[in-house]
Amino acid sequence: MLVLSESLSDIVKELKNISLPSHSTLSEEEQYPVPSFTETGEFYEFLEIPKDGLNIINVKFKDEIKFEAFLDGVQRTVMCRRIPLSTGALVPIHIAHICAGVILRDNKGNLYLEPDLTAARLLLLGPFKGLMEKGIRLESLNNEEIIWDTDDKTFAFPDNLNECIVCDTTFRGTSKDRENYFEGALIGDALFNEGLVRSRAQGRVATLRQRLEMAVLAQFRKKYPEKWILVDGPLFFIDKWRRPAFRVLGQKLKVDRESDLENELLKNAVGIIKTHRLRPKNLEQIIQIGPSQRSVVMKLFREVDIKGCRDNPDEDGNYGGIHLCWYTRLRSSPNPPYGLLGLVRIDIHRSTLGVVLGDALNPENFEFYSSRIDDITLAVWRERWPVIPLGNDYRSAAEPYPIYQLEQILKASTLPRRFLAYLTS
């Protein structure tokens, strides 16, 4: 049985008295399709230049890397209440449950869980500052025991199962000085923009889920410093998060300098991105990648898998240390054209190649690392589904099978949408 903390219970009671039930039948994730190719290719530069002038490379088959662990996270966001304003606006309030975990593989190939590598949080989200400026009284938010989304604890592995976080989505992002930046703020007439309120909430949930995944990854790295792990999604670690993350995770990973945190945390971690927000400059070639091929490697400077509206993202920023990424295909149709079926982007941190300074990488010397890129590509291919259903099944064609297994476990652990809505009823 889930028991809300006293501080959160007080907030819920207060919200109930001033709001209306939303009667939402679907979670936000079920209503919004994932956007495709919304970010331009101006944030990267090529590191490999094939001799034939094409941006596609035939992978040389080797067998040196094998994944021993897989990480994924899930979220479920429900619009639970609507607060009526004197202007006629009905402002959505959301509640969400996020889970993240690692599944491991033993020497016989069997997948198994370790209980201390799974975590969950409960989130309550709304433009609370904007609502209070409109005269809505929310005195329960003054409780000093509340953990806000600006707290460093959001980078930590939770002390308790279903630890509660209150998220003020009035302003973009989670920095402590966010109230100084009014661009995109949900204040005044902006509270009429229900699409933006909902998108901001879903983006904040995704941000805190990504942090939870990194906390689980740190927990994993503490136990298994050298194991290779495949992560569902990008290695989401932007520069402005480095300092608060270091304050929380530095001691856990025995890191003395902020700049070394990513080296320890992201080494031998490989991200696999199935949704294509980044539009490659050579898209016409990328969609022609066939079996046993990959694209050239790109040096990526900025996080591009942002959540929320494209023109008003909730979080964005540069990477502290460069990431390397390239495209490949897990599965494809028997014959070309292959299109987007099975196409994925691979993301690694420079530390995985043993590189200290990313600026030292250039097209002239990158050939030295090409064989390692091929090894990682082959290791990712090895995790594809044994077979895929007939027809163009985009999901199974692009998703590693162990991550699918983990996702099913995490979804079963996530609170049902009706239960989440009931918590505020």
> Are 287 and 324 part of one and the same domain?
yes
Q: Which domain holds residue 61?
A: 34-67+228-383
**Residue 407 in domain:** no
Q: Assess whether pLDDT exceeds 90 at residue 236.
A: no
> Are 20 and 161 part of one and the same domain?
yes
Chain segment 156-187, per-residue pLDDT in tens: 999 888 899 999 999 999 999 999 888 889 99
* Residues 387-402, mean pLDDT to the nearest whole number: 76
Which burial class, exposed, middle or buried, applies to 171 when counting CB atoms under 10 A from its CB (0-12, 13-18, 19+)? buried
Using CA atoms, how far apart are residues 401 and 272, in angstroms rounded to an integer?
A: 12
Chain segment 30-74, per-residue pLDDT in tens: 765 555 677 776 777 888 887 676 788 999 877 789 999 999 999
Q: Assess whether pLDDT exceeds 80 at residue 375.
A: yes
And the tokens for 103?
């599944």
**Residue 169 in domain:** yes
And the tokens for 400?
């590693």
Please state, for a pLDDT cut of 90, what percent of the chain lies above it: 55
> Are 278 and 200 part of one and the same domain?
no
And the tokens for 80?
């639970």
Contact by Cβ (8 Å): 123, 12: no
**Residue 371 in domain:** yes
Using CA atoms, how far apart are residues 130 and 345, in angstroms rounded to an integer?
A: 38
Per DSSP, helices labelled H in 224-337 are 242-249, 258-266, 283-286
* Among 265, 278, 160, 152, CA closest to 213: 265
Q: Assess whether pLDDT exceeds 90 at residue 151.
A: yes
Q: Assess whether pLDDT exceeds 60 at residue 77.
A: yes
**Residue 402 in domain:** no
What is the number of structural domains in the chain? 2
And the tokens for 172?
């973009």
> Are 90 and 209 part of one and the same domain?
yes
What is the per-residue pLDDT for 366? 87
C-alpha R_g of the chain:
22
Q: Is 259 helix (H, G, I), strand (E, B) or coil?
A: helix
